[in-house]
Amino acid sequence: MYARMTRFRLKLGTRDEWFRLRDGMAADIHALKGLKHWFTLQGDDDEVVVVAIHDSVWSAEAAMPDVLKLWQRIAHLMDDQPSTKFYDVTRFDTIFDNV
């Protein structure tokens, strides 16, 4: 498995719109080829971290054009440019059936 981690900061006052748009894009996110899991984290300082787990490095890289289109749909909410890094997943366990 392969992970893509993207960080960005929301503009002040856009948190509710971010939640609405993120949830509205779920079907498009789920349609990304090779995507197995994804989740978002948000700090008190409005930093957002999106973690996407793909079945391979190839699917993670192949998904990037579609991922960039998704980021463009929320760019007006971002206080800075998103930064993305890729990682090998060396272990993945879950204790939750449905999170």
Q: Where do the domains of the chain lie, and which CATH numbers do they carry?
A: 2-88 (3.30.70.100)
Looking at residue 8, its amino acid is F
DSSP three-state, residue 65: helix
User: Per-residue pLDDT tens for 51-99?
Assistant: 999 999 999 999 999 999 999 999 999 999 999 999 999 988 887 766 5
What is the spatial distance between Cα 57 and Cα 72, in angstroms, rounded to a whole number?
A: 23
Around Cβ 66, how many Cβ atoms within 10 Å? Answer: 14
Output the pTM of the full model: 0.86
Question: How far is the CA of 21 from the CAs of 6, 24, 32, 71, 81, in angstroms?
Answer: 17, 5, 17, 11, 18
User: Per-residue pLDDT tens for 78-90?
Assistant: 999 999 999 999 9
